[in-house]
Amino acid sequence: MSDLRQDLKAEFEDPEYRYAYAESFLNTKLATQIKILREQRQKTQSELGAVVGTKQSGFSRFEDVNHSVWKTDTLWKIARALDVRLDIAFRTFGSIIDDKEHFTKEAMQCQDFDHDPAFAELSAAGVGQPCPARRNRRRIYSSDGRRHRLRSAAGGTQGVGRASGVSGGGVGSASSSAPAPNLILRANAMQGVFNGI
């Protein structure tokens, strides 16, 4: 590992090299994690493609490390299809080494909301079960996928939707959480949404 650190330190002196290397690793991570999460959910490319709005051949491109043109909109759709949150962060070049060390199938896997370990204990105890009215609100949000403004517990309004997935500790947690730093697709997709209801 220290060899790679030394090699990259020398190679990254060239800005063109380090940006291309980082871009390539981002593409590798995205494609690989999409494949891993699809397989974790035991879904076919056709099944997830239908949810995302593309054919099997189109979805297979998302699982190819050479795919390099990612639209944020598409990533949101894929995150929704996998029931995870999307996390986008700016990072140091040196963090690539740490990311590579943790680049394993196990580290890339994450549960959908219903199996999210962060909430499992609460669910078992019956805490935080939404009342029927709140459940309806959630259903409206889930089927729409667009921005809504919902009344918060404090009586004000709070934006939910795309912005909630990017903000709220996404950058900070990406650099500090083990064992899989800089995961692009993370579990707890809807946490920010429910906090605001």
Partner 1 sequence: MEEWRVYCYLGGMRRDNVVREWLATESVSVAQIAAFQEKIDTLEMSGPTMVPGFISETPVAKDIYKMKIKGNKGRKQLRPMCCRGPFGPNEYTILAGAVERDGKLVPENVKDTARLNLNELRADPTRRVHERLAPRPKG
Can you give the binding site for partner 1, defined by CB under 8 A? 4, 7, 10-11, 14, 16-21, 23-25, 28, 31-32, 35, 63-69, 100-101, 103-105
Using CA atoms, how far apart are residues 15 and 95, in angstroms rounded to an integer? Answer: 16
Query: Cα separation of 157 and 72, whole Å?
Result: 26
Residues contacting 102, CB < 8 A, separation 6+: 178, 179, 180, 181
Looking at the Cβ atoms of 64 and 144, the one nearer to partner 1 is: 64
In the complex, least distance from residue 24 CB atom to partner 1, rounded to whole angstroms: 4
CB of 18 to partner 1, least distance (A): 7
Alpha-carbon separation of residue 177 from 13, 170, 181, 197 (angstroms) = 28, 10, 6, 26
Q: Closer to partner 1 at the Cβ: 75 or 160?
A: 75
Cβ at position 142, least distance to partner 1 in Å: 29
Residue 154 dihedral angles phi and psi, to the nearest 5°:
-80, -5
Q: Which is nearer to partner 1, 105 or 115 (CB)?
A: 105
E-strand stretches of the chain: 85-86, 148-151, 157-160, 185-186
Nearer to partner 1, 100 or 138 (CB): 100
Residue 76 C-beta: closest distance to partner 1, Å: 22
